[in-house]
């Protein structure tokens, strides 16, 4: 038995075979944290706590397991992150409830199902996807900043931040990447306050009212912009 485990200490990090990853073993659970997100490269604190979990079984000692970071959902469709061929898909507040929240407006497809379909669509064009969903404005801003050097384009559904966030607008402008603004519903047929977008002025294209299929349209348009 590992001496550190017997004493109730957190085991030392073991280098993973996958570049840029370190692995911690706790019982039967493996926690993979990228070196960049773990803070070794100056990553913002919001992202430094991100855990990508695999092989997760119920832990023998739950008290030893770190609390999950509920405010950020992130899913990389590939382990490779070649700048210029990775597309950042950003989803704002409440979109983690896609599929169960007001299905008459937003449909019954879950966010994870959307992500899987988008990843397959991009893969057919030799592109990969990075997906980030958060209910917190600063987390989305940090993801856009990281995309400046790590991604080739941005697709963003800012949700309620569409109508309020100058910070997201300025981050997108600073990133200077091809950007598509996306809305599942036709916001122009809804309440008047939803008609204004701070994002549209810095987006290269806007897709509204196509349901979750709009994400596929956005993926295809990004492929067209980048590959011709």
Q: Which of 73, 183, 198, 215 is catalytic?
A: 183
- The structure tokens 């919001």 sit at 46
How large a percentage of the chain has pLDDT more than 70? 64
Say yes or no to pLDDT of 44 above 50.
Answer: no
CB distance 147 to 177 below 8 Å: yes
Q: What is the edge-to-edge ordering of all strands in the sheet holding 21-26?
A: 14-15, 21-26, 29-34, 52-54
Per-residue confidence band for 228, with pLDDT thresholds at 50, 70 and 90: confident
> Which helix (H) or strand (E) is 218 found in, with range?
helix 213-227
183 in active site: yes
CA distance 122 to 84: 13
The most confident of 36-50, 95-109, 169-183, by mean pLDDT? 169-183
Say yes or no to pLDDT of 20 above 70.
Answer: no
pLDDT averaged over every residue in the chain: 76
User: Which alpha helices (DSSP H) does 13-136 contain, by range?
Assistant: 45-48, 103-106, 111-123
The model's pTM:
0.66
- Scored b (16 or more CB within 10 A) or e, 55-73 reads eeeeeeeeeebeeebeebb
Residue 4, classed as helix, strand or coil, is: helix
Per-residue confidence band for 83, with pLDDT thresholds at 50, 70 and 90: low
Q: For 71, phi and psi rounded to 5 degrees?
A: -80, -10
106 in active site: yes
Per-residue confidence band for 8, with pLDDT thresholds at 50, 70 and 90: low
The most confident of 28-42, 64-78, 195-209, by mean pLDDT? 195-209
CA distance 206 to 17: 41
- pLDDT value of residue 31: 32
What Å distances lie between residue 6 and 2, 27, 74, 136, CA to CA?
A: 6, 11, 33, 39
DSSP state of 116: H
- pLDDT value of residue 198: 96
CA distance 59 to 29: 7
- pLDDT value of residue 27: 36
Please report how many Cα atoms fall inside a 13 Å half-sphere around the Cα of residue 191, on the Cβ side. 4
Write the pLDDT tens digit of every residue in 59-72: 444 444 444 444 45
Write the pLDDT tens digit of every residue in 111-167: 999 999 999 999 999 999 999 999 999 999 999 999 999 999 999 999 999 999 999
Q: Which of 106, 125, 215, 224 is catalytic?
A: 106
Average pLDDT, integer, range 90-110: 94
């Amino acid at each position: 038995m590992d001496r550190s485990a017997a004493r109730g200490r957190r085991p030392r990090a073991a280098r993973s075979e996958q570049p840029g990853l370190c692995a911690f073993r706790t019982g039967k659970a493996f926690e993979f944290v990228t070196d960049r997100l773990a803070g070794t490269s100056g990553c913002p604190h919001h992202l430094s706590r991100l855990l990508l979990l695999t092989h997760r079984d119920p832990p023998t000692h739950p008290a030893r397991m770190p609390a999950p970071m509920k405010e950020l959902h992130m899913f990389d469709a590939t382990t490779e992150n070649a700048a210029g061929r990775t597309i950042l898909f950003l989803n704002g507040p409440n979109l983690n409830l896609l599929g169960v929240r007001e299905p008459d407006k937003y449909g019954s497809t879950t966010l994870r199902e959307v992500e899987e379909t988008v990843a397959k669509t991009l893969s057919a064009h030799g592109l990969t996807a990075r997906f980030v969903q958060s209910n917190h404005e600063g987390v989305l801003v940090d993801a856009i900043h990281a995309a400046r050097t790590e991604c080739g384009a941005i697709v963003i559904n800012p949700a309620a931040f569409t109508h309020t966030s100058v910070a997201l607008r300025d981050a997108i402008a600073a990133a200077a990447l091809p950007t598509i603004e996306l809305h599942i519903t036709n916001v122009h047929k809804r309440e008047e306050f939803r008609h204004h977008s701070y994002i549209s002025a810095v987006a290269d294209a806007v897709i509204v009212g196509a349901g979750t299929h709009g994400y596929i349209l956005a993926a295809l348009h990004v492929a067209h912009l980048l590959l011709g």
